[in-house]
């Protein structure tokens, strides 16, 4: 594993920050994780979250699997630098041709309907990522229509469509942000945050203890407008490139 990761870096001139192995036995528990960490890999997507070969049900988190990426931990309790992001959709499993014996063989029309339900649940109920593996060779052979539908439906729901590398970069950046100060004076909230830049977003509730958000001043970011999160209306504030964000909100 270490040799292949290093060969990737030598061939393409860029480090392998994320990976998903194919048909590779997972030896032990922490041995591969420690090897990834030593090579600078920060996220892997080998774990397929589904009812594969047990049931044809398909949902955002059918059967098992964590919602957000989780870091591996050793028996002593220390967390390692490698995160596990479960993969939820694989093209050969769900819409492979008849020659793929384990495929559910969903047509493009059926996939449109099933996917709409799944992504609605992701956006409206779970607020979590939905990881997909579309093999380049399969895209050419049979999964192009379903893959395009996935991207289109995600965009329609204002979901960012990211590579694993982009997702990892966001998570690592988010962990650097800290709240330096927060104070209330009557109905005014003042807060200061600091981190290693964006893209990053903060959410302020539009309604709090019977009050409605009024005037909002932001330094080091921009107000993007209101959206619904977990059944509540919130105001989204983006820190795009700033390393410090100050806000004052009147309720």
- Where are the domains positioned within the chain? 2-163, 176-250
> pLDDT tens, 132-151?
999 999 999 999 999 999 99
**Which residues make beta-bridge pairs with 83?**
43, 71
> pLDDT tens, 166-203?
999 989 988 899 999 999 998 999 999 999 887 778 89
* Domain at 176-250: CATH code: 2.60.40
Q: Where are the alpha helices (DSSP H) in the chain?
A: 2-12, 31-38, 91-95, 108-121, 136-138, 144-156, 164-174
> pLDDT tens, 37-95?
999 999 999 888 767 777 766 665 565 556 789 999 989 999 999 999 988 888 998 88
Q: Quote the pLDDT of residue 213.
A: 96
Q: What distances in angstroms separate CA 137 from CA 91, 111, 134, 143, 152, one per listed residue?
A: 11, 19, 9, 9, 21
* pLDDT over 90 at 249, yes or no: yes
> pLDDT tens, 9-28?
999 999 999 999 876 567 78
């Amino acid at each position: 594993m270490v040799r292949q990761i290093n060969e990737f870096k030598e061939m393409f001139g860029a480090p392998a920050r994320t990976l998903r192995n194919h048909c590779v036995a997972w030896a032990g528990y922490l041995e591969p994780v420690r090897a990834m960490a030593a090579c600078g890999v920060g996220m892997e997507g080998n774990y397929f979250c589904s009812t594969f070969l047990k049931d044809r049900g398909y949902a955002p988190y059918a059967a098992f699997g964590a919602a957000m990426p989780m870091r591996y931990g050793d028996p002593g309790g220390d967390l390692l630098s490698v995160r596990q992001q479960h993969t939820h959709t694989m093209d050969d499993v769900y819409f492979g041709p008849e020659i793929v014996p384990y495929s559910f063989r969903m047509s493009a029309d059926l996939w449109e309907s099933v996917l709409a339900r799944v992504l609605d649940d992701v956006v409206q109920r779970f607020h979590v990522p939905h990881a997909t593996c579309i093999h380049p060779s399969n895209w050419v052979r049979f999964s192009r229509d379903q893959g395009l539908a996935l991207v289109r439906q995600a965009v329609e729901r204002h979901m960012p469509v990211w590579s694993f590398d982009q997702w990892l970069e966001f998570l690592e950046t988010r962990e650097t942000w800290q709240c330096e100060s927060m104070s209330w004076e009557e109905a005014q909230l003042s807060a200061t945050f600091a981190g290693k830049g964006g893209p990053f977003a903060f959410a302020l509730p539009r309604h709090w203890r019977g009050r409605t958000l009024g005037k909002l001043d932001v330094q080091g970011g921009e107000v993007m407008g209101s959206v619904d999160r977990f059944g509540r209306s919130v105001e989204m504030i983006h820190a795009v490139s700033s390393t410090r964000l100050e806000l004052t909100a009147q309720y």
